[in-house]
Amino acid sequence: MHTLFTPLTLPNGQTVPNRLAKAAMEENMADADQAPSRQLLRLYRQWADGEAGLILTGNVMVDGRAMTGPGGVVLENDAHLPRFSEWAQAGRARGAQFWMQINHPGRQMPAAMQQATVAPSAIAVDLGKHSKIFPMPREMTEADIADVIQRFVTAARLAQQSGFTGVEIHAAHGYLLSQFLSPLSNQRQDRWGGSIENRARLLTDIVKAVRAAVAPTFAVAVKLNSADFQRGGFSLEDARHVVGMLNDLQVDLVELSGGSYEAPAMQGEARDGRTLAREAYFLEFAKEVANIARMPLMVTGGIRRRAVAENVIDSGIAMAGIATALALQPSLPRDWRAGLDSVPVLKPVTWKDKLYAAAANMAVIKFQLNRLSRDRAPQPGVSPLRALIAQQIGNALRTRQYRRWAAKQQISSSHLAEVK
């Protein structure tokens, strides 16, 4: 019987020291070059000291023109590789596996970033009265798709070069690869749309291309929705089918989560009438996938108690991914190993407007990350309104910073084109 502190041997032969993972949270702490900042490094040192067996970064963008939000780290060339190497050293300081989550937002890029967005089909994010937050995307061409595949490969190769031990390809939460997987956002009539095999083609092509470009001992993982939690969207049956396709592609781990900006199940909200558990939201779905998966599975979503994490491992799932609880108590894995039964909890935000409530919940978490990155104690009791206002101000400043950076990149590429 495995415990939380039994090492896990991955299909690539590498070992994860224990079964607890620090799951991805979006930090928005890039510097003016959209590279890892000193603040970000300090944050990851805290998590390294907490001794999770696996540490996953927040979103690292494979294309500087396609951002999940301001302050995002971009890895599309080797211009700032020494800073990425420092980040890798910080995350690996206590022996954890340290994987970079690589991502493209597709249509889930805020309009305030002032960039054109792309998606499988020209279908905008539907947030009701808040839909203007995201622009109408352009349907991707074959050339766009080929470019995205190459960008994932480049980011993975550079992650390996800078000292990370693996990458996680983000195909969940309504981002680009998840948009291709969902029949709600992918209504293409070509080889990239229609059947689940076609809708999964971009993901499997990226996995194959990344696997071929990195060392056999470098981990290649996938983050996948167990379901979209929207009627007519990516279903549990689809998830089982995709995992079956990934079985033959030398994938080292699949992390199961769920939801999107339209139905934020990753925060415990579904939009298709299903009730999610209060902790380990996706465990029941993961059990359904486990009987066909030949690679280790990880479940993330709401885990904050040791007994719940143990239940995940006892259920035959290889790893328990923890996010919010580690924003409140980065030492949690070390504390649980020492026999302390800590339960870090944030009060739920119960505002009537679901979108503002979800945004305030995220803002409260980012408020904790900012404190940790300045070596200060978390403040779980912070007012959600105060945290949201602070985040809005920070986002406005970082959005301006990003626009300046993007304009500079455009000038550089125009200059290069003239030189050529």
What per-residue confidence (pLDDT) applies to 367? 96
Residue 95 CA neighbour count, 13 Å, CB half: 8
The answer to whether residue 398 scores a pLDDT higher than 90 is yes
Residue 229 pLDDT grade (very low, low, confident, very high; cuts 50, 70, 90): low
Whole-angstrom Cα distance, residue 330 to residue 298?
19
- pLDDT for residue 170 is more than 90: yes
Q: Please say if the pLDDT value at position 261 is more than 60.
A: yes
Closest CA to 399 of 133, 56, 81: 133
pLDDT of residue 61: 98
1: in domain:
no
Q: How confident is the model at residue 279 (pLDDT cuts 50, 70, 90)?
A: low
Domain count, the chain: 1
> Among 393, 303, 332, which Cα is nearest to 51's?
332
- Residue 183 pLDDT exceeds 60: yes
- Any domain includes 409: yes
Residue 306 in this model has a pLDDT that exceeds 80 = yes
Residue 347 has pLDDT above 90, yes or no: no
Confidence of residue 270 (pLDDT cuts 50, 70, 90): very low
Structure tokens at 107: 């249509």
Among 65-79, 105-119, 156-170, 267-281, the range scoring the smallest mean pLDDT is 267-281
Residue 74 reports pLDDT greater than 70: yes
Note the pLDDT of residue 348: 82
Render 211-278 in DSSP notation, one character per residue: HHHS-TTSEEEEEEES---STTSS-HHHHHHHHHHHTTTT--EEEEE---SSS-GGGT--SSSPPPPS
Is residue 150's pLDDT more than 70? yes
Residue 379 lies in a domain: yes
Distance CA 53, CA 288 (A): 25
Instruction: Summarize the confidence of residues 89-95 as an average pLDDT.
Output: 98
pTM for the model: 0.94
pLDDT at position 273, please? 42
Residue 318 lies in a domain: yes
399 pLDDT above the threshold of 70:
yes
The amino acid occupying position 189 is: Q
User: Could you give the percent of the chain with pLDDT greater than 90?
Assistant: 78
pLDDT band at 226 (very low <50, low <70, confident <90, very high): confident
Give a yes or no: residue 3 inside a domain: no
**CATH assignment at residue 205:** 3.20.20.70
pLDDT band at 271 (very low <50, low <70, confident <90, very high): very low
pLDDT of 264 above 60:
no
For the chain, give the mean pLDDT: 91
Minimum mean pLDDT range among 93-97, 242-246, 414-418: 414-418
The pLDDT tens digits for 21-59 are 999 999 999 999 999 999 999 999 999 999 999 999 999
Q: What is the pLDDT of residue 265?
A: 47
Residue 94: its pLDDT value, please? 97
Q: Phi, psi at residue 120, to the nearest 5°?
A: -60, -40
**What is the domain range of residue 251?**
8-419
Is 203 within 8 Å of 180 (Cβ atoms)?
A: yes
DSSP symbol at 8: E
Residue 2 falls inside a structural domain: no
Q: Which token pair is 208?
A: 């194959």
Average pLDDT (313-317) is: 94
Question: What's the rounded Cα separation, in Å, for the pair 177 and 158?
Answer: 20
pLDDT of the residue at 319: 97
How large a percentage of the chain has pLDDT more than 70? 92
- pLDDT band (50, 70, 90) for residue 129: confident
- Whether the Cβ atoms of residue 233 and residue 186 lie closer than 8 Å to each other: no
At 93 the pLDDT is 97
* β-pair partners for 102: 60, 169
pLDDT grade for 277, boundaries at 50, 70 and 90 = low
The vertex-266 CA angle with 357 and 263, nearest 5°, equals 65
- The reply to whether 332 falls in a domain is yes
Whether residue 386 is contained in a domain is answered as: yes
Contact 221, 168 (CB under 8 A): yes
Name the least confident of 161-175, 242-256, 264-278, 324-338: 264-278
